[in-house]
Amino acid sequence: MSTKGKRTQDYAVVILAAGMGTRMKSSTPKALHRICGCEMLLLVVDAVRGAGIDNITVVVPQDSSPFKAVLGESVQYATQSEPFGTGHALLQARTSLEEGANNILVLYGDVPLIRSSTLSNLMQRHAAAEAVATLITSCSPDPTGMGRILRDESGSITAIVEEQNADSGTLAIREVNSGFYCFRAPWLWQNLQRLSAAPNGELLLTDLVEAAVMQDLPIESITAEDSHETMGVNNRLQLSEAEAILRQRIRVHWMLDGVSIPDPSSVYIDKAVTLGNDTTVFPNTHIAGQTAIGRSCNIGPNSIVDDAAIGDGCTIVSSVVRDSTLESEVDVGPFSHIRGGAYIESGVHIGTSAEIKNSRLGRGTKMGHFSYMGDATLGENVNVGAGAITCNFDGSEKHETVIGRDAFIGSDTMLVAPVNIGDGASTGAGAVVTQDVPPDTLVMGVPARQRQESADSDLQEHTHQ
């Protein structure tokens, strides 16, 4: 039973995410901590959907608002008001699932490295064996803190023994319980409500294995090929370890998909990022958020690209591009900053130590070093000299600068917004422009005025006509 590319209606998923994670020492619920730019819980949800299941219920604490802010209405919610164990948490989802799918997968919101393919394998084994319960195990080099899997001579699972209840022989077992289960739904609901509470008052899902053994019913398992898939995150150290593992997965994916990364260990790429073939990501570069980068780009070294759309053939050297769009064949840097919804059309050159904020630069424009364009619209083929800036903020409001096509903005020009520079107009070096400049006009000085020779020439031309 392959679920890849298909949606399955016979399975529903419950993700247990009500634990606050006191060892994280955080006001953020544990499952909502991020790795590679994505909440752990969302990574689990994505894995479930990748396995073809859309019927998802998330068990959350009393304050569900942080979870709904991340997942919205794409899942159902059940509330566990008191921490009475995993079995109790699963019972809270019964109302939404009891009359639905025939099989229930149980996952955890703080085990973010599970793969869709492993969940598909779990469902396949469960269906083929007609088991009442099928679980994922892993062989861990360090099983400390994990429940050990006990098997009989035939290899059948007979029990899951928690570490605090294990003798020395059991502690030597390396096969451990991951906490991922697939249950036949009618059997699950009948037996879950019959479980006896542990001495601490909790209902534990592991006791369902003992119940199935007592009833002489089939229990199946698969072993995760990668033990990291079942790694739980309980503190900041484990959070960083999970991030390192996922980060390497991401880099491997893109390198196998035609992206060059000469020094992988120094490159950070978030999960939602997309990269085109023949792009190269150089050392000490971070590509974050919902960034999409096209083909044949050179990104880095020492660059940050965050929530940006980058076209084909772009170069970004030692610069920051955030919340902005670059069309094709744009080169940026070094040491420049593009932010705040900037839009850079194709063929634009942005030099050293330039900043662009909430502005649009037209096709073929060249912006020299140590320049700033804020709240500005530049036409095609504009030349912005070194040190030229827009003075867009008057202390209370932002104002717009409009520069026409083929304009020439001299070095150290100050454009005091609101102001319009006409097509083909020019400003002299050091000009302070406080008034609109007509097309094909040169202005100079402080405050900038139309050059006298140009004005006299215009007058003579008018006289001779």
CB atoms within 10 A of CB 201: 11
Smallest CA-to-CA distance from 56 within 88, 125, 122, 104 is with 104
Kindly report, residue by residue over 49-72, the tens digit of the pLDDT. Answer: 999 999 999 999 999 999 999 999
The answer to whether residue 369 is catalytic is yes
With pLDDT > 70 as the criterion, what percentage of the chain qualifies?
Answer: 95
pLDDT digit string (tens) for 157-176?
988 888 888 888 888 898 88
DSSP symbol at 44 = H
Per-residue pLDDT of 272-282, as tens digits, reads: 999 999 999 99
- Please determine, for residue 141, whether its predicted confidence score (pLDDT) is greater than 90: no
What's the pLDDT band for 414 if we cut at 50, 70, 90? Answer: very high
Note the pLDDT of residue 161.
Answer: 87
Query: Is pLDDT of 463 > 50?
Result: no
| 189-216: average pLDDT | 89
In the predicted structure, residue 213 carries a pLDDT above the cut 70 = yes
Closest CA to 143 of 181, 110, 175: 175
CA distance 44 to 59: 13
pLDDT confidence of 426, banded at 50, 70, 90?
very high
Rounded to the nearest integer, the mean pLDDT of the chain is 92
> Which residue(s) pair with 321 in the sheet?
305, 338
Q: Is 9 a residue whose pLDDT tops 90?
A: no
Q: CA angle, corner 464, sides to 458 and 465, nearest 5?
A: 90
**Which pLDDT value is given to residue 350?**
98
Is the preceding peptide bond at 334 cis, omega within 30 degrees of 0? yes
Q: Is the peptide bond before 301 cis (omega within 30 degrees of 0)?
A: yes
Other residues' Cβ atoms within 10 Å of the Cβ of residue 27: 7
pLDDT at 309: 98
Look at residue 119 and tell me whether its pLDDT is greater than 70.
yes
pLDDT tens for 175-186 read 888 889 999 999
The more confident residue out of 202 and 458 is 202
Band of pLDDT at residue 459, cut at 50, 70 and 90: very low
Q: What is the pLDDT of residue 145?
A: 78
Residue with tokens 């159902």: 76
Residue 460 scores a pLDDT above 50: no
Mean pLDDT of 185-196: 91
Please give the pLDDT value at position 453.
52
Mean pLDDT calculated for residue range 198-220: 89
pLDDT (0 to 100) of residue 164: 81
% pLDDT > 90, the chain: 77
Q: What pLDDT is attached to residue 461? A: 46
* 433 pLDDT more than 60: yes
In the structure, what pLDDT confidence band is assigned to residue 452 with cuts at 50, 70 and 90?
low
- Indicate whether 417 pLDDT > 60: yes
CA 246 from chain centre, in angstroms, equals 12
Catalytic residue among 33, 337, 369, 464: 369
Query: Token pair for residue 413?
Result: 């020009």
What does each C-alpha distance from 299 to 173, 339, 346 come to in angstroms? 47, 17, 17
Mean pLDDT of 308-336: 98
> So what's the pLDDT on residue 144?
79
pLDDT attached to residue 451:
75
Identify the pLDDT of residue 179: 86
406 pLDDT higher than 60 = yes
Confidence at residue 216, expressed as pLDDT on a 0 to 100 scale: 92
Q: Is residue 143 classed as helix, strand or coil in its secondary structure?
A: coil
Smallest CA-to-CA distance from 92 within 206, 193, 5, 223 is with 193
Distance, CA of 268 to CA of 462 (rounded, Å): 63
Contact (CB, 8 A) for 106 and 205: yes
